Amino acid sequence: MENVSLFILLSLLKIVVVLAIALTAVPVMVWVERKVSARIQNRHGPLYVGPFGLMQPLADVAKLLLKEDIIPTEADQVLYVLAPLMAFVPALLTFAVIPFGPYLQITDINIGIVYVLAVSSLGVYGLVMAGWSSNNKYALLGGLRSAAQMISYEIPLGLSIIGVLIYSRSLSMVKIVESQADLWFIVPQFLGFVLFLVAAFAETNRLPFDLPEAEQELIAGYHVEYSSLKFALFFLAEYVAMLSASCLIVILFFGGWLPLPFIGPVIEGFLPEIVVLYLMPLLWFLIKVAFFMFFFVWVRWTFPRLRYDQLMSLGWKVLLPLALLNVFISATFRMTGLF
């Protein structure tokens, strides 16, 4: 009985730590995105609320919480209220199996990557529900676009990681990382990495694939009728999904919590063993994730939005054939013993 109580206590502690990391990253990334976009456009960004504008995200949260929560009179009120939760909760559930380090993970299941793909794909239901329940034609178009985009890019996203699974011989996130001890999968799976990266941008509705909420065409898309806390949940869902995608890229292709080649062993050689075992893996993981979070921001403010026909053509005519080719090449290399 004591062992069961200890297990439950440790599990709750892990959940609290992981949620704190995930939710703390959102306001930080909001500030980073504003600063980076401002520098790209040759302006300053947040300056006045707190030192260097660091408190601006908290001011935005307070503003959203104090705004009037408006529900359209012709909306389907039950689905209208549930939609933001349907978008936010699946994005958060993916962190249940993501290993931030060898000892910092809520749980390790032998089908971890399947769980992540299954749960993350549920988020589109929230966007479709929001578009339909709002009783607004622009919101409906945004929801339909989101559904079509999800279907088009979910397939190449799943196929792009088949090569990683072939080489690691496991669906466990921890074992995928451990199998990269000698060589990160970015080397033999560079094509798979590029395909996964492009599909991840589409799955998270980030520019240049933010067609479901294109301001010039749909005003704000599926969340055009939302305000206050409900709008904030959609906003949180996008950034949490972006964080989840960055974590997956690091785990699948960049060695997870493993140290950086050449630099890592030199740095760790000067540190105490307890720091190397428990703190450095988390630090290496967060450094890699921070790089890809910055990359998401940089792409948003660098490339123009695609037309919708270009979005569909890229998914079905380019990414899907390349993903199938990558599966064939990976299987051939494994069968012939070349890797």
On the CB side of 310, CA atoms within 13 Å amount to 8
pLDDT band for position 1 (50/70/90)? low
Q: What angle do CA 274, 276, 278 make, to 5 degrees?
A: 65
Query: What is the DSSP track for 51-115?
Result: GGGTTHHHHHHHHHHHS-----TTS-HHHHHHHHHHHHHHHHHGGGS--SBTTB-S---TTHHHH
pLDDT band for position 218 (50/70/90)? low
Hey, what are 297's tokens? Answer: 């921001």
pLDDT band for position 320 (50/70/90)? very high
- Total structural domains within the chain: 1
Average pLDDT, the chain: 85
Residue 56 lies in a domain: no
Hey, what are 267's tokens? Answer: 């740095």
Residue 33 lies in a domain: no
Contacts of 27 by beta carbon, 8 Å cutoff, 6+ apart: 57, 58, 61
Residue 58 lies in a domain: no
Residue 229 lies in a domain: yes
- Domain hosting residue 185, numbered range: 68-336
Residue 283 lies in a domain: yes
Residue 34 lies in a domain: no
Q: How do residues 35-88 score in pLDDT, each as one tens digit? A: 888 888 888 888 888 888 888 888 888 888 888 778 887 778 888 888 888 888
Q: What is the pTM of this model?
A: 0.90
Residue 59 lies in a domain: no
Q: How do residues 119-144 score in pLDDT, each as one tens digit? A: 988 888 888 888 888 888 888 887 78
339 contacts 176 by C-beta, under 8 angstroms: no
Residue 115 lies in a domain: yes
Q: Which one is predicted more confidently, 46 or 247?
A: 247
